[in-house]
Chains A and B, each alone.
Chain A
């Protein structure tokens, strides 16, 4: 069984489970809606203020829902006593990492798209021209979040107080991604060309490459026992 096929099977299995139960996606969508309400209530109904804070709010929303999604990466294996099955998988276990990563990416990107849609509706925004750039930044940033997040989810799966340790470990590492994504999003929403934020895009890409490489190389060591 090839590496790619093994990775694909992991994604496929998770997608099937999700399609049947729909619990994660539904809960995350509901959570996104609640976040929007939270931001509105916390910052007041001044639409100007919310719109000017939009890049930060968007990424806060992405990160908060992303933390929830990523934290649950291995919950099925843990709760159903399948962890040992993961350990016994023959061959390179980083196929599992990539499979889980792909699943997380799909989930997070779906939630992010919905969240953007909600913001557009509630704040009456017109971001049609910014969409391609926004999609690019969201893709790069989410890949950064998910690549480290999936790795750390495996790391904290068996630690006590994992719900606390997981964000505590992940968030400081993600600050460059957050900064880059927010700054790039800000520029794009203001209508600036992508070239103006080339340095941020390069930083995000570099981060993604670094995190992915480390993830693939070290996942075996995490999963040893």
Chain B
């Protein structure tokens, strides 16, 4: 299973690169630097996916005390932090030539930075509690609160950046994207999701073996 998943992931990533660099056209306003989007946007999507999984697994753990749920939460948080780091780094690198600065407190970058620190704290908490059962319980509570915080973060940061009128919609309407660019983006979404699934699967199995070895 994991071998198949691994090969699918590799194929997906190759397809993503091909789409992002070969098929997608040179963007009109930004030039080729816009191609970073095919890395940046799927990364942030996977990060949010990962933390949603942490949320669900945390609830399942508290409700049923199933160790498998705890392992999934732990692994997903790890992978999520990884992709969050990639999101921030790629966003910063994209920002330098386009906005002229390495960092700006724009809504998305700010939200992702907060996300990063929150889940880094989650991993820190796990690392500092020796008793496995207690670590599982405590991180489950943290995982639930952090995830429920996400919409609050989204709105507060967005309103913070738009000075006067609070928007009545969730997000400003995205400008319609040419279909080739959208297709390339979607392929990369799929590839990164596969990568997430592969990492998650592998890490969960490793966690189980580590726990069995220590039992």
Q: Which residues of A contact B (CB under 8 A)?
A: 148, 151, 155, 159-161, 165, 168-169, 172-173, 175-176, 179-180, 183, 199-200, 203, 206-207, 210-211, 214, 218, 221-222, 224-225
Give the distance in Å from the alpha carbon of A182 to the alpha carbon of B152 in the complex: 15
Assess whether B145 is in contact with A148, with CB atoms less than 8 Å apart.
yes
Complex A-B: 14 CB contacts under 8 Å: A148-B145, A151-B141, A165-B128, A172-B114, A175-B157, A176-B156, A179-B159, A210-B148, A210-B149, A211-B145, A214-B145, A214-B148, A218-B141, A218-B144
Give B residues with C-beta under 8 Å from A.
62, 114, 117-118, 121, 124-125, 128-129, 133-134, 137-138, 140-142, 144-146, 148-149, 152-153, 155-157, 159-160, 166
Q: Is the CB of A159 within 8 A of B125?
A: yes
Q: What secondary structure prevails in chain A residues at the interface with B?
A: helix
**B124 and A168 contacting across the interface, CB-CB below 8 Å:** yes
Once the chains are docked, how many angstroms separate the CA of A127 from the CA of B40? 46
Complex: A200 Cα to B146 Cα, angstroms: 20
Per CB-CB distance, the 9 closest pairs between chain A and chain B, nearest first, are A176-B152, A176-B156, A172-B118, A179-B156, A172-B117, A199-B166, A218-B141, A169-B121, A155-B138
A-B contacts besides A165-B125, A211-B145, A218-B141, 6 pairs, CB < 8 Å? A172-B114, A175-B157, A176-B153, A210-B152, A221-B141, A222-B141
Known: A159-B128, A225-B134. A168 touches B121 (CB 8 A): yes
CB-defined contacts of B156 to chain A, threshold 8 Å: 175-176, 179-180, 203
Contacts of B155 in A (CB 8 A): 176, 203
Considering the complex, give the chain B residue whose CB is closest to the CB of A180: B156
**Are A221 and B160 in contact, with the CB atoms below 8 A?**
no
A206 to B154, CA, bound (A): 13
